[in-house]
């Protein structure tokens, strides 16, 4: 997982790159959660754009950005789903957005 890229993209989207103590989770019934020191939010972790759920937030955001139109148009939304081939496309897309702004 590429933290540097994920952090950059998360902040680019105007979201908090959460700062939390990974050693001090709050145990709820079924999951481990954390309290972010910056936004005080109750969180499960930071964005990992290789994961489908987090990725779709990035993709939907990117689709609304006029200057990213050229990049988003190179991809088919259907290619982003699934564990292996989807992951490859998700990584490629996230890297393209990252490179565009770097
Ligand atoms: Zn936060």
Q: What is the pLDDT of residue 8?
A: 98
38 C-alpha to center of ligand 1: Å?
Answer: 5
Task: At 39, list the tokens.
Answer: 């936004």
**Of the candidates 43, 2, 37, 40, the residue with the CA atom closest to the CA atom of residue 20:** 37
Q: Cα of 18 to ligand 1 centre, how many Å?
A: 4
Residue 36 Cα to ligand 1 midpoint, Å, equals 5
Q: What angle do CA 95, 74, 86 make, to 5 degrees?
A: 60
The whole-number pLDDT of residue 71 equals 98
| 30 C-alpha to ligand 1 centroid (Å) | 21
Q: How far is ligand 1, taken at its centre, from the CA of residue 34, in Å?
A: 10
Domain range annotation of the chain? 3-101
- Rounded mean pLDDT for each run of 10 residues along the chain, 102 residues in total: 92 97 86 94 95 97 97 97 95 97 92
């Amino acid at each position: 997982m590429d933290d540097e890229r994920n952090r950059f993209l998360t902040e680019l989207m105007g979201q908090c790159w959460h700062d939390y103590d990974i050693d001090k989770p709050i145990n709820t019934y079924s999951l481990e959660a954390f309290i972010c020191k910056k936004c005080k939010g109750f969180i499960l972790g930071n964005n990992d754009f290789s994961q489908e759920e987090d990725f779709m937030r990035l993709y939907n955001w990117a689709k609304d950005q006029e200057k990213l139109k050229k990049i988003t148009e190179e991809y088919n939304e259907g290619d982003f789903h699934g564990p292996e081939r989807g992951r490859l496309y998700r990584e490629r897309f996230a890297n393209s957005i990252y490179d565009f702004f770097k």
